[in-house]
Amino acid sequence: MSFAFGIGIGSQNNQGEWLEVYYQQPIMTPGKDLIDVVETALDYKGGNQAIEAGAEQLSQFANALRQLGQTEQARLAEQAANSKRPVVVTVLATDDTASSTPEVYLKLHLISHRLARPHTLKLDGIFGLLPNLAWTNEGAIDLNELPERQLQARIEGRTLEVKSVDKFPQMTDYVVPKGVRIADTSRVRLGAYVGEGTTVMHEGFINFNAGTEGTSMIEGRISAGVIIGKGSDLGGGCSTMGTLSGGGNIIISVGENCLLGANAGIGIPLGDRCTVEAGLYITAGTKVNLLDDNNDLVEVIKARDLAGKNDLLFRRNSLTGAVECKTNKTAIELNEELHANN
């Protein structure tokens, strides 16, 4: 059994190099019968391959898929046969390091379609396979070809709007998961995992290979690799330290029913029902005064020693400035009506 499969429609530059690929219905662990059809119709030789397919091949592929009972994939292949853009059929036999842009895009789609959770796919080496592109109102454009496209648009009486210059596109141009609210779609990258019931407000940000497990209010930054548990609230301007920006090999996560106050931040994983007060940034090496129920000092420890523990309240002493930690007696409950995304 293979690892993943997808029929994609993408963009190429003038040299025929892939810029990006859209997979409407990728499949995890496709059956052997489907892969057998790929071998017959598209000359698939095994392994991880991105097979560029023409109209005639795709029509034959669609007929074979329909005979197999793969109605939805057959429909996709039929529609792709009429595409004005290049079509690629990507098969991943295993979750090895990607070797092509279509392979990377398939993996990012699997996460955003909620078919694979963050940290479950091998994503090392993807940056070298993701070209830095101009993301415009006319799609992805190679930066070397952008000036000519801008000039041509002006000549034709149009304005070519460049929305961003980046390796990653916004997720919603490719995937809109069920049951979410995203106020500013440019702030959620393809490859984000946005759990059902999540609300991402204007200042919220979700990077690739990161996201939320379920109902959450996101008004802060979820960096690459960070997972937020159900019922947690990330206040305005707060930050989570990602594995790409100083977190090292530590996987930062936030448990269920936690609260990160406005402009707070964490560099350690939090357990369930934890609170970090507004404006307080905790790194692994932060010295923390551990207090008992009488607010008496028990010991001074580093924040890393509290990583993953439940029911903690982190605060800063307003008199001394010392960071303190107590057992959190109150759990954060999100307003059910406010966070209904259906």
Active site residues: 219
Longest Cα–Cα distance of the chain, Å, equals 77
203 is in an annotated binding site: yes
59 is in an annotated binding site: no
318 is in an annotated binding site: yes
230 is in an annotated binding site: no
161 is in an annotated binding site: no
3-state secondary structure the chain: CCCEEEEEEEEECCCCCEEEEEECCCEECCCHHHHHHHHHHHCCCCCCEEEEECHHHHHHHHHHHHHHCCHHHHHHHHHHCCCCCCEEEEEECCCCCCCCHHHHHHHHHHHHCCCCCCCCCCCCCHHHHCCCEEEECCEEEEHHHHHHHHHHHHHCCCCCCEEEEECCCEHHHCCCCCCCEECCHHHEECCEEECCCCEECCCCEECCCEEECCCCEECCEECCCCEECCCCEECCCCEECCCCCCCCCCCCEECCCCEECCCCEECCCCCCCCEECCCCEECCCCEEEEECCCCCEEEEEEHHHHCCCCCEEEEECCCCCCEEEEECCCCCCCCCCCCCCC
271 is in an annotated binding site: no
335 is in an annotated binding site: no
In whole angstroms, give the CA distance from residue 337 to residue 242.
31
315 is in an annotated binding site: yes
Sequence ranges of the binding site for Mg(2+): 203
Sequence ranges of the binding site: 203, 221, 236, 239, 262, 277-278, 285, 302, 315-318
Sequence ranges of the binding site for succinyl-CoA: 221, 236, 239, 262, 277-278, 285, 302, 315-318
